[in-house]
Structure 1
C-alpha cells in the first residue's frame, strides 16, 4: 500500500509540473485578453476566469470519456485559439499602418468587461480539454485505488480521478498568478503583445495536432501529440517565439524612448 501511495505522490508531483508548463502558455492567452481593461477590472476578469477554469476542469474530468471520443470539441478549441491569434495580429498590423489615429490620444477600444470575461471562459474550455487529456495520459498508468469508498468517479478510477483533479486545480492557480504577471509585463513592454498572440496561435496548433491525431481521424499517429519529437518541437518553437519577441520588444522600446 505504501508503494502505491508513493507512486501516486510521484505522479501528482509530475502532473503539477506538467500543469505548470501548460499554465505558462494558457496564462499568455489570459493576459492579452484582459490587457485592455482597467487594472481593477483586469483582476476581476482574471478572477472570473479562475472560477471558470476550476468549473471547466472539474466538468472535463467527469466528461473525459466523452471528450476523448468527440474530436470536434478539440477542433473547435483549436479553431477558436487560431482565430483570436490571427484576428488580433491582423488588427495590430492594420493599426500600425494607419496613421490617421493618434494612439496616444485615442487608445484602441477593446471589448467590454463581460465580453472579455466570455472570451476568457471560452479559452478556459479549450484549456480544460487540453489539460485533462494530458492528465489522463499520465494518470491512467497508475494502479487502481479506491478513495472515499468509491471504485469509480465519472467513469474513472476514484484514485486516478483525485490525482488528476488535484493536479489540474493546482495548475489553474499557477495559471491565474502567471497571467497577472504577464499582464504587468505587457503593460511595461506593449510591443510584446504581437509575440503573445503568436504564442496563442501556436497553442492552437498544439490543439490542432491533437485533433488530427484523434483515432477517428487518423491523419497523424495517435501517440504523436505525446511523443518526444513533437514535445521538443513545441517547446523549442514556443521558447523561440518568446526570445525573438523579447529581443524585438526591448529593441523597439529603446527606439521609442530614445
Structure 2
C-alpha cells in the first residue's frame, strides 16, 4: 500500500493520541448524561449521542481546516493551542455539572452539546496535525470515537497511574502549536528565519509549556501545604 507513507502513519497516530488525551473523559460525560435512563435506552442514547458528536466533530474540523488556510489564523490557532496544552497539564476537570436525564432525547441532546463544547480544543489540535487533510482527520475520528466510548475507562486509569502520558500529550500539542505558528504564511513572508528554524522553535515552545506547567504544579502543592499547616496549627490551638 504505497499511499501509506511514514509521515501519514505518524500523523494518524498523533491524531489518535491527541483525540484520546483531549477527549478521553468524554465517555464520562456520556455515561453521566445517560445514567438515569432505563438500560435499553442507555445504549440508544450512547449510539445516537455519539453519532451526533461525530457529525459535529467532522463539520467543525472542516470549518477549522478551511479557516486555518487564511493568513494569520494558523498563527492564532497555534497560540490558542499553546494555551490548550498548558490547560491540559494544569486543569482539574470536573464533570459534576453534567446533568443526567430520564428522557432519551434530552440525554442525546446533552451528549451532543457537551461533546461539541468540549471538543473545540480537540478539533483545533487535530486540524493543526492534519495540515488540511480532511480524510486524515475523519479517519482519526472514526478510529478514536469507539475507543473513547468503550475503552476510555481503561485509558483514564492509565493516565491516573502514569501522569507522564498527559505530559506527553501536552508536549505533542505544544509541538503542533509551534509548527502551526512557524508555518503560517505571514510568518514565512516576514520572519523566514523562524520558518527555517521551525524544529528549534517548536522545541522551545514544548520546553516553555512543560516548564510553566511544572512550576504551576509546584506552586499549587506548596500553597496547599501551607493551607494544611495553617489548619493543623489552628486545630492544635483550639484543642
Task: Give the structure-1-normalised TM-score.
Answer: 0.46
Per residue, is there more helix in 1 or in 2? 2
Larger Rg: 2
Task: Give the structure-2-normalised TM-score.
Answer: 0.49
